[in-house]
Amino acid sequence: MVYDNPWGTFLVEARDVLEKAFKLAYPELEVKIQLDKPPSREYGDLSCSACLSLAKKASTNPMEMAEVVLKHTSLKDSSFIEKIVVSKPGYLNIYLKRSLMVGEALKSALTLKDEWGYVKTDKPLRIVIEHTSVNPIHPITIGHARNTFLGDSLARILNARGHSVSKRFYVDDVGGQVALLAYAYKLAGDAILKLDAKPDHAIGRVYTTISALVEIRKLKNRAENLRKSGKYEEARRVEDELSDWIGILSEVEKKNSDVLQTLLNGMKFSDPEEEVREILKAYELGSEQAKQLIRPIVEKCIMGFKETLERVDVSFDFWDWESEIVWSSIVRRVLNRLMKSGCVKFENNVPEFEAGRIAEDPLVRRRLGIPDGFEISSLTLLRADGLTLYPTRDIAYSILKFQNADVVINVVGFDQTLPQIQVRLALYVLGYKEQAENQLHYSYGLVKFPGFKMSSRRGRYITLDHLLDESEARAYMEVSKISPHLSEDERRRIAKSVGVSAVKYSLISVEPSKDVVFDWDRVLDFKRNSAPFIMYSYARAHGITSKIGVESVEEFDPAFLTQPLEEELGLNIAMFPQVFVEASENLSPHTLAMYCNSLATIFNSFYDSHPVIKAEKNVREARLALVEAFKITMRNALKLIGITPVERM
RNA sequence: GGGUCCGUGGCCUAGCUAGGAUAAGGCACCUGCCUCCGGAGCAGGUGAUCCCGGGUUCAAAUCCCGGCGGACCCGCCA
């Protein structure tokens, strides 16, 4: 028989048996059966502590209660339960028919192959995942990379679960940052791109340069004025900031001196801040001239993104341009309807959405998943000059994302918690109540660099490309050391795969809510608990199957797998579908990363102590089946976190 | 000032949603293991007031309250 989730079947059987037994023994009690993993195998494979908490209600003691429940159990409808035993303070310990489980799991894995473990949901949904959405003014950095890998992994997981997933990238081409970049482009033209092979890297550098130039100019004036009016203390603070920016500029100058001159010359003839404002306004109003200035430079930056994303095997179904949303009438419609909702007040002649007022209703909070004490401030919807603001456009975008979706998952950093809540509240007020409930903020802690705060304006960041380069170089060294017999080409190919995987794994394997302090040594540590370690176990397994030939897996008798490590490996393979189900329900890629690591660890132990090729025929066939099932399981599990194992490394 | 999140051996991390039996891994350190399917490995060892204090409970790393420390948010920036 082929099981799509053997361990899950065992869980259901155990729960059924105990539920029925409790009902027979204590019909008056409401019992919710929870099954745990016992601390060691001597206590069986599952344990139930219900008697410990219920004994008092049944006016008995836990031991006695467990004995009574045990007497009422019947195993006739279950195939995987070996026995149930009462132990110490009152546990019911369930023992699995281990070798049956191992045999069924191996057969199922070998039969289902690429589909093994991907248990389908009975409620398929249309799910939009918006992730990455890096502003097109600088390259993708290691800070964004966590977003990219988490989002991509979520998409892979939900897709494997049977949902219809679409991945969207929000191109934030409206706003001051892009306008500032466009201003530099206006002054220096295509020269800003010729500096570097990759357009996004060149653009990032120019963005820092123009930011510094404009900032320095502004701060100089301010400091002068402060000194003139005798505010020396304040002037000194401004001057400190000024010298900070001058430092940044001199850093950039080394690589950008010709462009810097052009920009400086251009700035003499105009007021930069005024020019930037003009560009911003013109673009939002849809002026052809502004489009011709902004679109090409943003497109170039996105080309750079796509190159990086291709490198890490991440793709998108839609690239949504923010400007398209502004130029369509959605934003205006949203504004008009919000105004009529009674939740907008005017402060200094500017409309503000009083998000906090709606959130006073505890019911609304519960529906939208807003913590009770969360303080929600108002949201300014328009600037005094009538131009839209980012959150306003984001509300409109949210509506757009729901056009063909039941659920929208926004992969957005923890620092955006408040605006994400404000958007949901706006949806609610606008009458999109269900959508407001089904818009999820998938939050994750920021990636920080020890020593300084990463800042894209200040050019203080590490690009994902750079990190990948380092990782690939490291991987290349390792491959060359261990497999010098492989061709140069193949070693390059392997290094690329291993290098990218190492970076992905290190960013995915940490629970999302935790901050990550970036550490070169840790990301490039290829020992245990890393992608290279996991991939290495796969390559070893492949070494065995390729030497024997996979065809011979057809016939095997799991009864020959009698060693504890064989059983352990088999059981862990059997658990994969259940691990997948839980990871997909909890949106938890890191659980899968941890699973891959422990599966690899167990395989390595097995590998070390139980030879396959040299074993006697029956044992060899059974072990070969185990190894092949391991490979299938590992491949399928790794795929969910965006990693493809290599056969040699 | 208010709020949100995080706080687990020297360092990094899992476990917390759904409270249960000796708190699980990695790095570092120490001891063994390559005539044996690939040593990016394996076997073992040293090392923990689970931030602190209360509370709930037969039972708390896990739930509640109050502190402390760190990060972040509270913009006519995005």
What is the spatial distance, in angstroms and rounded to an integer, between the CA atom of A607 and the C1' atom of B14?
25
pLDDT band of A550, cuts 50, 70, 90? low
Of A56-60, A171-175, A492-496, which gets the smallest average pLDDT?
A56-60
Q: Which residue is nearest to nucleotide B57 (CA to C1')?
A: A53
Q: Which residue is nearest to nucleotide B36 (CA to C1')?
A: A611
**pLDDT tens for residues A337-391?**
999 999 999 988 999 999 999 999 989 999 999 988 899 999 999 999 999 999 9
B strand bases under 7 Å from protein CB: 2-7, 12-15, 17-22, 25-28, 36-43, 58-59, 70-78
**Which nucleotide is closest, CA of A453 to its C1'?**
B71
Per-residue pLDDT, A552: 59
**pLDDT tens for residues A28-77?**
888 889 999 999 888 999 999 999 999 988 889 999 999 999 999 999 99
Q: What CA–CA distance (Å, rounded) separates A91 from A46? A: 10
Check whether A5 has a pLDDT greater than 80: yes
State chain A's mean pLDDT as an integer. Answer: 94
**pLDDT tens for residues A577-614?**
999 999 999 999 999 999 999 999 999 999 999 999 99
What is the spatial distance, in angstroms and rounded to an integer, between the CA atom of A3 and the C1' atom of B8?
38
Task: Examine the domain organization and report whether A482 and A440 are in the same domain.
Answer: no
Asked if the structure places residue A216 within a domain, the reply is yes
First-to-last alpha carbon distance for chain A, in angstroms, is 36
Task: Examine the domain organization and report whether A623 and A478 are in the same domain.
Answer: yes
Which three-class secondary structure state does DSSP give residue A573?
Answer: helix
Check whether A551 has a pLDDT greater than 90: no
Which three-class secondary structure state does DSSP give residue A517?
Answer: strand
What is the spatial distance, in angstroms and rounded to an integer, between the CA atom of A397 and the C1' atom of B62?
39
Task: Examine the domain organization and report whether A468 and A583 are in the same domain.
Answer: yes
- Identify whether the C-beta of residue A144 lies closer than 8 Å to the C-beta of residue A107: no
What is the spatial distance, in angstroms and rounded to an integer, between the CA atom of A418 and the C1' atom of B26?
35
Q: Which residue is nearest to nucleotide B73 (CA to C1')?
A: A415
Check whether A196 has a pLDDT greater than 70: no
Q: What CA–CA distance (Å, rounded) separates A332 from A288? A: 21
Asked if the structure places residue A590 within a domain, the reply is yes
**CATH code of the domain containing A553:** 1.10.730.10
**Which nucleotide is closest, CA of A415 to its C1'?**
B72
**Which nucleotide is closest, CA of A611 to its C1'?**
B37
Task: Examine the domain organization and report whether A186 and A263 are in the same domain.
Answer: yes
Q: From A268, A291, A311, give the residue that closes a domain.
A: A311
**Which nucleotide is closest, CA of A173 to its C1'?**
B78
Per-residue pLDDT, A253: 87
Task: Examine the domain organization and report whether A162 and A189 are in the same domain.
Answer: no
Task: Examine the domain organization and report whether A305 and A340 are in the same domain.
Answer: no
DSSP string, A584-621: HHTT-HHHHHHHHHHHHHHHHHHHHH--STTS-HHHHH
Task: Examine the domain organization and report whether A200 and A348 are in the same domain.
Answer: no
What is the 3 state secondary structure string of A533-558? HHHHHHHHHHHHHHHHCHHHHHCCCH
**Which nucleotide is closest, CA of A413 to its C1'?**
B72
What is the spatial distance, in angstroms and rounded to an integer, between the CA atom of A481 and the C1' atom of B34?
16
Asked if the structure places residue A109 within a domain, the reply is no
Q: From A74, A96, A118, give the residue that closes a domain.
A: A96
**pLDDT tens for residues A327-347?**
998 999 999 999 999 999 998
Check whether A426 has a pLDDT greater than 90: yes
**pLDDT tens for residues A390-413?**
999 999 999 999 999 999 999 999
Asked if the structure places residue A485 within a domain, the reply is yes
For chain A, state the CA radius of gyration: 30
The DSSP 8-state label assigned to residue A119 in this structure reads P
Task: Examine the domain organization and report whether A151 and A205 are in the same domain.
Answer: no
Helix (H) or strand (E) run with residue A406 in it: none
Task: Examine the domain organization and report whether A295 and A250 are in the same domain.
Answer: yes
Check whether A195 has a pLDDT greater than 80: no
Which three-class secondary structure state does DSSP give residue A404?
Answer: helix
DSSP string, A21-90: HHHHH-TTS-----EE--SSGGG-SEEE-HHHHHTTTTTS-HHHHHHHHHHT---TT-SSEEEEEEETTT
Instruction: Order across the sheet with A350-353: list the strands.
Output: A344-347, A350-353, A379-380
Q: What CA–CA distance (Å, rounded) separates A238 from A276? A: 22
Asked if the structure places residue A110 within a domain, the reply is no
Domain of A26 in residue numbering reads as 6-96
**CATH code of the domain containing A359:** 3.40.50.620
Asked if the structure places residue A383 within a domain, the reply is yes
**pLDDT tens for residues A269-305?**
889 999 999 999 999 999 999 999 999 999 999 999 9
Task: Examine the domain organization and report whether A306 and A378 are in the same domain.
Answer: no
Task: Examine the domain organization and report whether A196 and A161 are in the same domain.
Answer: no
**Which nucleotide is closest, CA of A350 to its C1'?**
B76
Check whether A175 has a pLDDT greater than 80: yes
Domains of chain A: total: 4
Q: What CA–CA distance (Å, rounded) separates A632 from A638? A: 10
Task: Examine the domain organization and report whether A494 and A619 are in the same domain.
Answer: yes
Check whether A193 has a pLDDT greater than 90: no
What is the spatial distance, in angstroms and rounded to an integer, between the CA atom of A591 and the C1' atom of B24?
14
What is the spatial distance, in angstroms and rounded to an integer, between the CA atom of A231 and the C1' atom of B64?
51
The DSSP 8-state label assigned to residue A121 in this structure reads P
